[in-house]
Structure 1
Amino acid sequence: MIFALVYCTAGISGGHINPAVTFGLLLARKLSLTRAIFYVVMQCLGAICGAGVVKGFQKGVYESNGGGANVVAAGYTKGDGLGAEIVGTFILVYTVFSATDAKRSARDSHVPVLAPLPIGFAVFLVHLATIPITGTGINPARSLGAAIIYNKEHAWNDHWIFWVGPLVGAALAAVYHQVVIRAMPFRNKR
């Protein structure tokens, strides 16, 4: 689904459907503050509407699954949950940077067209690793939408983790890509 959403919205918003990705790109100066704020507000409103639609069409499944609200699973600490969100979001945002890097050589010119594929695959892999720990947040808007529509205490208990973790992970990915990878003197010697 992420592959399809990024592919379909790339020409409109650059495929921004996640405030953490938007934040990472803002920190890397690939996006203006005004545009970033607008994107985050729209992402959050879209997530709230999406959670409302799910609740409206599948109330029984919705209620039995806690409204899709992210929580730290039993047996894990808040630190485990925060760590999972940081690492998972780092992987996602770093994949976005790598897949959309305009400074790739001419031989990789097909990559921007295919960028939604590795991004969607990264989201899939992060879900496999973090669903047992946090239900996989990595998208603060999605976590917020579910929490607002479900609006029960457990949906808010650990909610900060699903903002702090993704924003820290995104910031680390931006710094890593811009400072470490882009600053490295790669020269193609033939």
Structure 2
Amino acid sequence: MATVNDHHLTASPSSKSTTKKTFLGLDIGAHEFYSAEMWKALATELVGSTLILLSLATAAVGCSESQHSDPKLTIPLFVFAIAFLFLYVTIPISGGFLNPTFATIAALKGVVTLTRGLCCVVAECLGALLTSVLLRLTMAHPLAHKYSLAGCVMNDAVSNSGVGQGTAFVVEFTTTFLVLFTAVTVAFDRVRAKEIGLAGVTAVIATAYALASFVGITVTGRAGYGGAGLNPARCMAAAVVYGGPLWDGLWVFWAGPILACFVYCAFSLTFAQERMVVTKEVEEPCV
């Protein structure tokens, strides 16, 4: 979810000979449908999303089942390690978004075209669906039922505890904005990104993601609440494959991140714009 590699920051050569089409000041980028580079990047987003979500789900279930550690502390540590590994691998190849939230903010900020951003979201959703199918096929039924296939849960029907949709929405918005404010601000700042390099940017993003995970798990203190989703595709995919209570309030796990993207996008206009990464096709992103 970063933009250290200049290869992903500029418009493709084929686009320079075409008339630029924009929507609200953002490059639509329809020409990218003919770009082999974009389709290769989408393949990476698909595979990367599948594997990172599978790893995160396995780690979360394993930590929760462990009798020797507090999952509220160990899960964020695994989130950091897994996020760092996958981002370090995928950033140079596809931009390393691996999450509809990051693909959306990249499109809104003009880091990628609207076409590429939308295609990334589709690829990430397909990857999440593959993850849920794999979990359905491989996870023991008692665990799949207990953890709702590692989906986004607001209430536990067994213990009759959890949070309301309003509370879950606030947590989702806040934790997503936390990640955007800390991670995206650095990743999309070409000066700082160049100074700290790929490993530094990856560490910042992974730390922000782990911190948001910790906040989402602990802030409400309600046992039946699974914490912030932090990935709309994961929540949707689990609902599609597992069904049941995961459909209840699913809108929260999409509306929260989307609102956070627009709020952050507006807030980021106060930053020094000459330091921000944008495609050559986009002159006034986020307006």
Does TM, normalized by the shorter one, top 0.5?
Answer: yes
Residue-pair matches, total: 182
Deviation at 1:59, TM superposition (A): 2.8
Larger radius of gyration: 2
Aligned to 2:230, what secondary structure does the other structure show?
A: coil
Aligned to 1:16, what secondary structure does the other structure show?
A: coil
User: Can you give the 5+ residue segments of structure 2 that lack an aligned partner in the other structure?
Assistant: 1-81, 156-160, 219-224, 275-287
Of stretches 38-47 and 91-100 in structure 1, the one that deviates more from structure 2 is 91-100
Match of 1:90 among 174, 177, 183: 177
Tell me whether 1:79 sits opposite 2:166 in the alignment: yes
Tell me whether 1:180 sits opposite 2:270 in the alignment: yes
Post-superposition Cα deviations, 1:141-168, rounded to whole Å, max 9, x if no partner, equal: 111111111112x110110000000111
Residues 1:140 and 1:76: Cα distance change in structure 2 (over 3 Å): same
Aligned to 1:109, what secondary structure does the other structure show?
A: helix
Point out the structure with the larger helix share: 1
- Counterparts of residues 20-59 of structure 1 (less than 5 Å): 20-59=101-140
Tell me whether 1:2 sits opposite 2:83 in the alignment: yes
Letter in 1 for 2:254: W
- TM-score after normalising by structure 2: 0.59
User: Can you give the 5+ residue segments of structure 1 that lack an aligned partner in the other structure?
Assistant: 185-190
Tell me whether 1:128 sits opposite 2:214 in the alignment: yes
- TM-score after normalising by structure 1: 0.86
Q: Distance in 2 between matches of 1:103 and 1:7?
A: 17
Deviation at 1:22, TM superposition (A): 1.0
Structure 1 match to 2:230: 138
Percent of residue pairs identical: 25
Letter in 2 for 1:164: A
Tell me whether 1:63 sits opposite 2:155 in the alignment: no
Deviation at 1:23, TM superposition (A): 0.9
The answer (yes or no) to whether the contact 2:217–2:226 under 8 Å persists in 1 is yes
Tell me whether 1:157 sits opposite 2:248 in the alignment: yes
Misfit runs of 4+, over 4 Å: none
The CA RMSD measured in Å over matched residues stands at 2.2
Aligned to 1:110, what secondary structure does the other structure show?
A: helix
Match of 1:110 among 187, 193, 196: 196
Q: Distance in 2 between matches of 1:134 and 1:64?
A: 11
Residues 1:16 and 1:56: Cα distance change in structure 2 (over 3 Å): same
Q: Distance in 2 between matches of 1:131 and 1:169?
A: 19
Q: Distance in 2 between matches of 1:150 and 1:137?
A: 16
Task: Considering Cα pairs closer than 8 Å and 6+ residues apart, tell me whether 1 or 2 has the greater RCO.
Answer: 1
